[in-house]
């Protein structure tokens, strides 16, 4: 009891300090979306005092909640220099209404959900039962009062009218702004209808159980769980466990279970992969286990209610044209270059670096079995069969005892102890084999020599997987994306018959603008004859949002 009180006292004492260190700011490209469209967003982790980027947490959790606080979307992003820009697709099954797009770190989940950063967005889904929002003929659109919204001439070079498929170069004058960070989006004007933030009910520390305290994810996502014996239900204690992912760039993590069977792994993975957790021991009797993972997301929700979606009749009428635009974009998207390009920061090397030998299977004549492949073309590998059992050794030629020591075998990054399962893979599935013929030390663990098999499709080929081993789909971080404009600089692009009816013409995020006097950017108009709005959301030196908007017409 005393320990619990001590921990709570410590949390209380550092609450104001840490919460000041870490403040998230999330900005979306607009306020109204059509079901099936993408939400472009930027989330920043700022120091609460200086409003510089904070490095307390590297991971933010993104959720889209409906009015009943049911998550429609749950994703994660990784902060690169304190910021992440990405996109999420709205399911075409969601109902029309207002939704809460919120962001928080694992550390923030120790406190009230009212402290989570959020914006309210509206979704209109013409394919759902309630296809259009409620409206009143005399309704006046209410602009957000929480974030200062102005219409001011800060855009240099802006004209009132532009032609279809015209390339436009503009500048944003920052000389009279104290913005340290800036997001810019250009959208069809009817899709800009900002809504006030939810009113925070509490910013104070609520009662926290000692076992549920979440620490900041300073280097990457922390995967926590518990391992129990399937038959007895008792925790498996003091067992070294391994975590790996099925894929081309292997990662290997170790964790020793505690007195409750609990484990903890720290990982940084992007995209969707399969996660495998298994004992490090080769003793197959230890495979009789059950893994229960802790939910990565908060599970806490604000008591404040989302407002109903009510638009004026003119806006509802204009949104119909945005719905048509979305449908046209969907039809032609397969024939157009993707407007989103993933950054290269997500590329991660294998945990062992570069192998001593790599054998590309396609460079050799076809061999009928993987056993023959190993014997004929893979260097530094000794394969022996005795009493129906196979033994494999990676040896070190220059060693005094070249064939002593252990060998660890992998398939698509996953450790596989039963080598017979590897030999049963058809060679046609294999893409390459890598060999590390020196003892590899990973932390304080000597893994021995490494023999790694990689399949063509990174799916472990036709290997019969041991179903006693925990294997589950895993969603890593969203990729960081940059918006890319269609190229109409050449006559070929100008005369293309592929329709361009984008509701979003541009999106970008800019950071560290202290000494920047102006921001230059370019975009291209599309085929839609419509009014468009440039939305500039700046973060000032106090960490507050200021929104400036200017409009033009494409005809």
The pLDDT score that the predictor gives to residue 287 is 82
Would residue 460 be called left, alpha or beta, if left means φ above 0 and alpha means ψ between -120 and 50 degrees?
left
State the pLDDT confidence band at 143, using cuts at 50, 70 and 90: very low
The pLDDT score that the predictor gives to residue 147 is 45
My answer on whether 363 and 310 are in the same domain is: no
Mean pLDDT for the stretch of residues 119-145 = 66
Check pLDDT > 80 for residue 311.
yes
DSSP element (H, E) containing 494: helix 491-494
- Domain assignment present for 153: yes
For residues 311 and 451, the model is more confident at 451
Residue among 381, 392, 384, 383 nearest 437 (CA):
381
Check pLDDT > 80 for residue 152.
no
The pLDDT score that the predictor gives to residue 291 is 95
Check pLDDT > 60 for residue 142.
no
Mean pLDDT for the stretch of residues 260-276 = 94
My answer on whether 182 and 329 are in the same domain is: yes
Check pLDDT > 90 for residue 6.
no
My answer on whether 247 and 320 are in the same domain is: no
For residues 98 and 126, the model is more confident at 98
My answer on whether 48 and 173 are in the same domain is: yes
Check pLDDT > 80 for residue 202.
no
My answer on whether 268 and 369 are in the same domain is: no
The pLDDT score that the predictor gives to residue 60 is 98
Check pLDDT > 90 for residue 251.
yes
My answer on whether 306 and 197 are in the same domain is: yes
Dist. CA 197–CA 25, nearest whole Å:
13
- Domain assignment present for 352: no
My answer on whether 89 and 171 are in the same domain is: yes
235: CB partners within 8 A, 6+ apart? 226, 227, 228, 229, 257, 259, 260, 261, 262
Model pLDDT for residues 112-124, shown as the tens digit of each residue = 999 999 999 999 9
Q: Which of 27-36, 323-332, 399-408, 536-545 has the lowest mean pLDDT?
A: 399-408
Residue 273 domain boundaries: 216-293
- What percent of the chain has a predicted confidence (pLDDT) above 90? 65
The pLDDT score that the predictor gives to residue 206 is 54
Pairing of strands 148-150, 545-554: parallel
My answer on whether 8 and 77 are in the same domain is: yes
Residue among 145, 176, 189 nearest 547 (CA):
145
Domain boundary among 467, 490, 516: 467
Mean pLDDT for the stretch of residues 300-316 = 88
- Domain assignment present for 350: no
My answer on whether 487 and 442 are in the same domain is: no
* Residue 472, helix vs strand vs coil: strand
Q: How does DSSP assign 358-406, residue by residue?
A: EEEGGGS---SSHHHHHHHH-TTEEEEEETTEEEEEE--TTSSSTT-S-
The pLDDT score that the predictor gives to residue 172 is 95
- Domain assignment present for 257: yes
Number of domains composing the chain: 3
Beta-bridge mates of residue 553: 161, 531
438: CB partners within 8 A, 6+ apart? 356, 396, 449
Check pLDDT > 90 for residue 205.
no
The pLDDT score that the predictor gives to residue 3 is 46
Check pLDDT > 90 for residue 97.
yes
- What percent of the chain has a predicted confidence (pLDDT) above 70? 86
Mean pLDDT for the stretch of residues 40-66 = 92
State the pLDDT confidence band at 343, using cuts at 50, 70 and 90: low
Four-point Cα dihedral 496, 498, 499, 501, nearest 10? -100
Dist. CA 373–CA 172, nearest whole Å:
62
- Domain assignment present for 221: yes
- Domain assignment present for 269: yes
The pLDDT score that the predictor gives to residue 398 is 66
CB 505 within 8 A of CB 524: yes
My answer on whether 260 and 334 are in the same domain is: no
The pLDDT score that the predictor gives to residue 175 is 87
Dist. CA 462–CA 57, nearest whole Å:
40
Most confident of 102-106, 269-273, 395-399: 102-106
The pLDDT score that the predictor gives to residue 140 is 40
Q: Which of 29-33, 52-56, 430-434, 528-532 has the lowest mean pLDDT?
A: 52-56
- Domain assignment present for 472: no
Domain at 459, CATH number? 2.170.130
Dist. CA 452–CA 450, nearest whole Å:
6
- Domain assignment present for 463: yes
My answer on whether 390 and 533 are in the same domain is: no
How many residues are recorded in the chain? 555
Taking only Cα atoms into account, the Rg of the chain, rounded to an integer number of angstroms, comes to: 28
Express the helix, strand and coil content of the chain in percent, nearest 5 each.
15, 40, 45
Domain boundary among 467, 502, 520: 467
Report which DSSP code applies to 143: P
Check pLDDT > 50 for residue 481.
yes
The pLDDT score that the predictor gives to residue 286 is 76
Give the number of other CB atoms < 10 A from CB of residue 359.
19
My answer on whether 100 and 138 are in the same domain is: yes
Model pLDDT for residues 160-184, shown as the tens digit of each residue = 999 999 999 999 999 888 898 999 9
Task: Enter the tokens of residue 15.
Answer: 């609450």
Domain boundary among 467, 500, 525: 467
Among all chains, which residue has been given the structure tokens 């000597």?
446
């Amino acid at each position: 009891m005393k320990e619990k009180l001590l921990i709570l006292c410590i949390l209380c004492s550092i609450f104001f300090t840490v919460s000041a260190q870490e403040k998230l700011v999330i900005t979306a490209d607009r306020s109204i979306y059509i079901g099936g469209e993408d939400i472009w967003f930027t989330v920043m982790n700022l120091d609460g005092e200086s409003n510089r980027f904070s490095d307390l947490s590297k991971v933010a959790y993104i959720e889209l909640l409906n009015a009943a606080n049911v998550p429609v979307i749950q994703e994660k992003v990784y902060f690169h220099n304190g910021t992440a820009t990405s996109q999420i697709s709205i399911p075409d099954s969601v109902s029309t209404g207002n939704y809460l797009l919120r962001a928080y770190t694992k550390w923030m989940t120790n406190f009230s959900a009212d402290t989570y950063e959020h914006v309210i967005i509206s979704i209109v889904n013409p394919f759902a039962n309630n296809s259009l929002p409620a409206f009143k003929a005399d309704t006046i659109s209410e602009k957000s009062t929480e974030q200062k919204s102005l219409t001011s001439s800060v855009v240099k070079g802006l004209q009132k009218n532009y032609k279809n498929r015209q390339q436009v170069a503009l500048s944003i004058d920052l000389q009279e702004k104290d913005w340290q960070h800036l997001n810019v989006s250009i959208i069809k004007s009817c899709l800009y209808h900002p809504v006030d933030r939810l009113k925070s009910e509490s910013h104070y520390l609520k009662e926290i159980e000692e076992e549920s305290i979440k620490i900041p994810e300073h280097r990457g996502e922390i995967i926590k769980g518990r391992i129990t014996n399937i038959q007895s239900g008792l925790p498996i204690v003091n067992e070294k466990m391994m975590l790996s992912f099925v894929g081309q760039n292997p990662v290997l993590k170790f964790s020793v279970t505690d007195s409750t069977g609990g484990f903890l792994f720290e990982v940084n993975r992007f995209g969707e992969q399969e996660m495998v957790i298994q004992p490090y021991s080769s003793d197959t009797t230890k495979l009789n286990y059950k893994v229960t993972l802790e939910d990565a997301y908060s599970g806490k929700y604000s008591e404040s209610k989302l407002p109903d979606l009510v638009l004026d009749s003119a806006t509802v009428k204009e949104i119909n044209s945005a719905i048509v635009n979305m449908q046209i974009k969907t039809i032609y998207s397969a024939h157009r270059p993707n407007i989103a390009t993933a950054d290269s920061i997500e590329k991660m090397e294998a945990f062992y670096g570069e192998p001593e030998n790599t054998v590309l299977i396609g460079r050799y004549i076809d061999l009928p079995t993987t056993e023959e492949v190993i014997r004929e073309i893979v260097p530094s590998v000794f394969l022996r069969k005795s009493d129906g059992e196979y033994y494999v050794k990676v040896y070190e030629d220059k060693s005094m005892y070249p064939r002593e020591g252990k060998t660890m075998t992998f398939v698509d990054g996953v450790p596989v102890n039963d080598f017979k399962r590897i030999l049963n893979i058809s060679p046609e599935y294999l893409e390459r084999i890598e060999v590390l013929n020196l003892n590899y030390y990973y932390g304080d663990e000597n893994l021995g020599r490494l023999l790694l098999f990689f399949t063509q499709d990174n799916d472990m080929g036709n290997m019969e997987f041991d179903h006693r081993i925990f294997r589950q789909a895993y969603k890593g971080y969203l990729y960081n994306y940059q918006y890319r404009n269609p190229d109409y600089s050449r006559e070929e692009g100008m005369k293309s018959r592929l329709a361009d009816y984008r509701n979003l013409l541009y999106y970008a995020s800019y950071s560290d603008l202290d000494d920047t006097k102006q921001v230059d950017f370019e975009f291209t108009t599309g085929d839609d004859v419509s009014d468009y709005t440039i939305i500039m959301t700046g973060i000032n030196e106090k960490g507050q949002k200021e929104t400036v908007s200017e409009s033009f017409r494409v005809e």
